[in-house]
Amino acid sequence: MDLKICIGEYLKTCSWRSNLSGKTIKAYRLDLEQFERMARTRVVERIGRSDIERYVGELQGMRKPASIKRKMAVMRVFFRFLEDEYGVENPFARTRFKIREPLPLPKTIPLYKIETLLSVVYEKLFSHKKESKRYGELLRDITVLELLFATGVRVSELCGLTTRSIDLVDGVIQIKGKGGKMRVVHVCNPAVLRLLTDYSLRFSKPIAQTGFFFINRIGAPLLPASVRAMLRRRAKEAGIDSRITPHMFRHSFATLLLEADVDIRYIQQFLGHSSITTTQIYTHVTSAKQRSILSEKHPRNKLNIKTE
């Protein structure tokens, strides 16, 4: 059977049987005619898995993964039609064709923007009296921002920190990650440690009442959505037009440490981002080594910010 004739028959069937729109039929035609032009044979019965694989391979140099997946979906239904109507062997039967997708690059925040953001919030903090409600709100916000950057913690992990999670004397934070997996991260910057202490003293009562370290304006545990909204607001106030999210602090934490020649094995441990396989092949990071790395190489030490 001729491939071009089969395509025509299939499109006719789609038109009257499936009641598809004209735009959909046109899109199907373009996709199937492209395959026809690129196929090594016009005989439907001779088209096999290798022909589909070759076609996918050629498309990967021309189209985006989403476009290729759409074309494959059309092809799969087309060959199912030929199998049902004419008994043609379906090259898609019991076969899955892998379409390579590029790994998305993590979005980071340039260091100068982090410095601008933190500096502006500190300036606002210092412009209010310590006894004021406004000072308390700004104190909480800057503490959240500094901790996101200091530890690379996920926003859900940050909001889940409890009074038992944080040792302010030694600067040790226990983080409960995905799947309940625990990890320890050290806060080694003196200014950040002072900030955490000031915050914990200011909000000691609601912290004790809830058991959670970060508290919102009504004394309830802080929620991830509130952190995201706060970050958008503070970024706007700092004149930063680009979108900034809490997770971008996590990516920036990892990327900047990597750029400072910190071994990727240590960064994996800091983030708690390893699978079972990576846990087996990566060496254990001792507390002393982690403290040494973050004390000497954390990019927070490069920022020139007035903190007291």
| DSSP output for 171-192 | TEEEEE-GGG-EEEEE---HHH
- Model confidence band, residue 289 (pLDDT cutoffs 50, 70, 90): low
3-state helix, strand, coil in the chain (%, to 5): 60, 5, 35
Average confidence score pLDDT of the chain: 87
Work out the average pLDDT over 12-37: 88
- Same domain (yes/no): 41, 170: no
- Same domain (yes/no): 40, 119: no
- Same domain (yes/no): 280, 184: yes
What's the pLDDT score for residue 271? 85
| Angle (nearest 5°) at CA 258 between 301 and 225 | 75
- Same domain (yes/no): 172, 251: yes
Contact 154/166 with Cβ under 8 angstroms?
no
What's the pLDDT score for residue 286? 42
> Which domain CATH number covers 245?
1.10.443.10
- Same domain (yes/no): 50, 130: no
Backbone angles phi, psi at 105, to 5 degrees: -75, 135
* Structural domain includes residue 35: yes
Q: What percent of the chain has pLDDT over 70?
A: 92
> Which domain CATH number covers 27?
1.10.150
- Same domain (yes/no): 173, 280: yes
Contact 211/217 with Cβ under 8 angstroms?
no
The SS3 assignment for 2 reads strand
* Structural domain includes residue 99: no
Catalytic center residues: 154, 178, 247, 250, 273, 282
Residue 231: CB atoms within 10 A of its CB come to 22
Cα separation, 43 vs 81, in Å, equals: 16
* Structural domain includes residue 161: yes
- Model confidence band, residue 140 (pLDDT cutoffs 50, 70, 90): very high
Domain boundaries, position 11: 3-86
* Structural domain includes residue 279: yes
Q: What is the CA radius of gyration of the chain?
A: 28
Q: How many domains does the chain have?
A: 2
Given 86, 103, 122, which residue is the final one in a domain? 86
Q: What is the pLDDT of residues 253-286, one digit of tens each?
A: 887 887 777 777 788 888 886 543 333 222 333 4
- Same domain (yes/no): 140, 270: yes
What's the pLDDT score for residue 131? 93
Answer yes or no: is pLDDT of 145 > 70: yes
Contact 116/239 with Cβ under 8 angstroms?
yes
* Structural domain includes residue 95: no
- Same domain (yes/no): 66, 123: no
Given 86, 103, 126, which residue is the final one in a domain? 86
- Same domain (yes/no): 139, 65: no
* Structural domain includes residue 102: no
Cα separation, 220 vs 6, in Å, equals: 65
- Same domain (yes/no): 244, 123: yes
CA dihedral 290, 292, 298, 300 (to 10 degrees): 120
- Same domain (yes/no): 222, 278: yes
What's the pLDDT score for residue 258? 74
Answer yes or no: is pLDDT of 125 > 90: yes
